[in-house]
Amino acid sequence: MNSPGTLPAPLKVQLPVRRYRLTLQHQLLDALGKVSQFVLQALAEECRTLADIKRITALTDAHLTPILTRLEGLGWFDLERQQLTEMGQEMAQASALNGQSQGLWLDVVDGISSLHHAESEQRLHPASDVDDAVTVPEFEKDWNIQKVLQTRRLTKGLTDDSGEAFIDFMTRLWPQHHDILRSQCQGWQFQLSVDGTEQTLRYRTVELAAGTPLETDYWRGITVQLPVLQCRIEHRVPELIAGALTPLPPLSEDICRVTGMPLAQFEAAMTRKTDLHWPEASLIPVTELVATETPLPPLMSRSVSLTQSSRALILGHHVLRQQLHADRESS
């Protein structure tokens, strides 16, 4: 038997995700400029000398001297030996990674809670307009506003004292550069933008089991609109004989079109203190719902009206994250 404030039946939820591009940047290297970074990378190549760089690029001593002086001041170049130091070799590797970008799918469920990185594109699918799932809307349509909020969410999720969260996340995107990401952890930053080449939303389906706790606080969860079929049955008699018959009260029942289960005392809209209890009940087909066991009295008529509407349901952030984590571990 389900407790109040829990799902009485399994529920499929489609979570929207959008494709972004994440560009990795190194603060110190960006301050050097592109020519200095080119020289740094060229010097890191095996058997590459300053003479080779001059011959290939047509750069003169007048161009190279201030660049090499600055690299020496940073401890990256040994002027006497005319070669990069160990730190210079490391920074050359970082320079090769600087400015690279990768595509990734991020949820667009809301702009507040912890952001989810959809690692496997195979688990994403286009929106399916079906009656056995509810779909969460995208939290922000303006891409510029969305980018700012998503960057804030991602930065918050990747910030810790050791930098391990940042390293782990970026290593998923650039697995071959784990060492340089770790050694230069404090120097890296990133820019996030919506990938304009992939404008269509995709969805990640999460299946919540019966008994899953529901939220009553708007700020602690995601509000979805549950499609409901409202059924109302009324009995009427002619006015001339209305006083001779005992009136029958109208019957009303709300049926969830996703689970096929009736809803009772289900508050509409997004009230924070709504009682979201789904009472335990068996599936009731509409034909059975409108049927009557006893025949109607003579001259009494019956009318049935069916109306589609929706009811608000608040799914907790922590519940969705736990289910996504469980799905990832089981895959």
Q: What is the pLDDT of residues 53-92, one digit of tens each?
A: 888 888 888 989 999 999 999 999 998 888 899 999 999 9
Confidence of residue 234 (pLDDT cuts 50, 70, 90): confident
**83-108: average pLDDT:** 94
| Distance of alpha carbon 175 from alpha carbon 160, whole angstroms | 21
pLDDT value for 146: 94
Q: Report the range of poorest mean pLDDT among 51-60, 114-123, 161-170, 309-318.
A: 114-123
Alpha helices in the chain (DSSP H): 27-32, 34-44, 50-57, 61-73, 86-97, 143-158, 164-173, 178-183, 286-289, 317-330
Which two tokens mark 106? 């991020």
| Distance of alpha carbon 82 from alpha carbon 71, whole angstroms | 11
pLDDT value for 131: 59
pLDDT value for 283: 39
Residue with more model confidence, 155 or 329: 155
Give yes or no for residue 10 having a pLDDT over 70. yes
pLDDT value for 56: 82
pLDDT value for 37: 93
Q: What is the pTM assigned to this prediction?
A: 0.75
pLDDT > 70 fraction of the chain, expressed in percent and rounded: 76
Give yes or no for residue 266 having a pLDDT over 50. no
**170-179: average pLDDT:** 94
Give yes or no for residue 281 having a pLDDT over 50. no
Q: For residues 41 and 95, is the Cβ–Cβ distance under 8 A?
A: yes
Confidence of residue 52 (pLDDT cuts 50, 70, 90): confident
Q: What is the DSSP letter of 19?
A: E
Could you give the C-alpha distances from 246 to 272, 290, 293, 323, in angstroms and in order? 41, 20, 18, 53
pLDDT value for 151: 94
User: How is 36-58 classified by DSSP, letter by letter?
Assistant: HHHHHHHHHSTT--HHHHHHHH-
| Distance of alpha carbon 211 from alpha carbon 193, whole angstroms | 39
Residue with more model confidence, 3 or 232: 232
Which strands make up the sheet holding 301-316, listed edge to edge? 262-263, 251-256, 221-236, 301-316
Cα radius of gyration (the chain): 31
pLDDT value for 96: 93
What letter represents residue 264's amino acid?
A: A
- Average of per-residue pLDDT values in the chain: 80
pLDDT > 90 fraction of the chain, expressed in percent and rounded: 34
Which two tokens mark 237? 């008699």
Q: Report the range of poorest mean pLDDT among 129-138, 143-152, 253-262, 269-278.
A: 269-278
Contacts of 223 (CB under 8 A, 6+ apart): 270, 312, 313, 314, 315
Give yes or no for residue 316 having a pLDDT over 90. no
Select the highest-mean-pLDDT range: 173-187, 217-231, 254-268: 173-187
Closest CA to 92 of 169, 7, 183, 19: 183
For 184-229, write each residue's pLDDT tens digit. 998 999 999 999 888 899 999 888 888 888 888 878 888 888 777 6
| Distance of alpha carbon 146 from alpha carbon 27, whole angstroms | 24
Instruction: Tokens 């595509």: give the residue.
Output: 103
133-135 and 11-26 beta bridge pairing: parallel
Query: Domains of the chain (ranges plus CATH)?
Result: 12-26+101-206 (no CATH), 29-97 (1.10.10), 215-318 (no CATH)
| Distance of alpha carbon 262 from alpha carbon 123, whole angstroms | 32
